[in-house]
């Protein structure tokens, strides 16, 4: 996969290294010369100096063949301009822009732009940690609207079908780990003591899941 990363701050540099370690073709663009110092001397990708929305520079970076364009500079406007050029002018299949202002993220998402709102994700994550500290969140999606929660079920639920824990559009059982072996959940699966379950949960439904499990969680 050929990826262009605009912005060689901590996020851009780390992402570039991770992608190169997976043998992807990576080009990093940054307008600050010393930004390249964040990349290791053995970095196998390319570093280009300049503005990530300069079309001549983008074409030098290979944007016409790019599979992905990631805008992670420190400026919302710069990220959006670069992302829109990549999406609208060059039709790059995957374009992602980091946005600090969550209000802008909503606007650009409505326009079909994929955004990652750092502030919103952080706020949602901290809120989850504070208010749902007895639930183990493994992963979140989008800006934290959907999360994966992995939890050992309390003994009092043994004998009940797993689908008793599901709520359409809010809580879905994904995985059951029993005696060290994992399997995909079935509607006919009956809970056994010690079962560890992975749930996909709407963030707004975490309280509901907590209520299901709270009897044994001391809440």
The 10s digit of each residue's pLDDT in 86-142 is 999 999 988 888 888 777 776 777 676 777 766 555 455 545 444 444 555 667 677
Q: Are residues 101 and 141 in the same domain?
A: no
Q: With pLDDT > 90 as the criterion, what percentage of the chain qualifies? A: 33
User: Does residue 151 share a domain with residue 106?
Assistant: no
On whether both 105 and 8 belong to a single domain, the answer is yes
Q: In Å, how far are 41, 128, 139 from 215, measured between CA atoms?
A: 55, 19, 24
Run of H or E residues at 129? helix 118-131
Count of the separate structural domains present in the chain:
2
Same-domain pairing of 173 and 107: no
CB atoms within 10 A of CB 40: 11
Does one domain contain both 90 and 136? no
110 shares a domain with 33: yes
**What is the domain-level CATH number for residue 101?**
3.40.50.720
- Residue among 13, 87, 81 at smallest CA distance from 47: 13
Average pLDDT over residues 208-216: 70
* Residues 6+ away with beta carbon under 8 Å from 14: none
DSSP code of 53?
Answer: T
Do 162 and 207 share a domain, yes or no?
A: yes
Residue 164: give the domain boundaries.
128-217
* Whether residue 146 sits in one domain with residue 100: no
Same domain for 107 and 154? no
Question: Cβ(209)–Cβ(181) under 8 Å?
Answer: no
What percentage of residues in the chain have a pLDDT greater than 70?
82
pTM passes above 0.95: no
Q: Kindly state whether residue 123 falls inside one of the protein's structural domains.
A: no
């Amino acid at each position: 996969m050929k990826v262009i990363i605009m912005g060689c701050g901590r996020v851009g540099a780390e992402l570039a290294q991770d992608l190169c370690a997976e043998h992807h073709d990576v080009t990093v663009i940054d307008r600050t010369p010393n930004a390249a110092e964040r990349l290791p001397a053995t970095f196998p990708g390319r570093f280009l100096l300049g503005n990530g929305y300069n079309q001549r520079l983008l074409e030098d970076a290979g944007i016409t063949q790019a599979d992905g364009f990631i805008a992670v500079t420190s400026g919302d406007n710069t990220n959006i301009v670069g992302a829109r050029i990549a999406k609208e002018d060059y039709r790059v299949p995957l374009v992602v822009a980091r946005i600090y202002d969550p209000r802008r993220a909503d606007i650009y998402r409505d326009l079909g732009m994929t955004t990652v709102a750092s502030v919103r994700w952080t706020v949602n994550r901290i809120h989850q940690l504070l208010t749902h500290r007895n639930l183990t969140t493994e992963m979140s999606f989008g800006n934290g609207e959907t999360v994966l929660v992995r939890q050992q079920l309390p003994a009092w639920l043994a004998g009940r079908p797993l689908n008793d824990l599901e709520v359409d559009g809010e809580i879905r059982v994904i995985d059951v780990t029993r005696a060290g072996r994992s399997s995909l959940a079935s509607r006919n699966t009956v809970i056994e003591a010690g079962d560890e379950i992975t749930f996909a949960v709407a963030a707004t439904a975490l309280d509901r899941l907590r209520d299901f499990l709270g009897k044994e969680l001391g809440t």
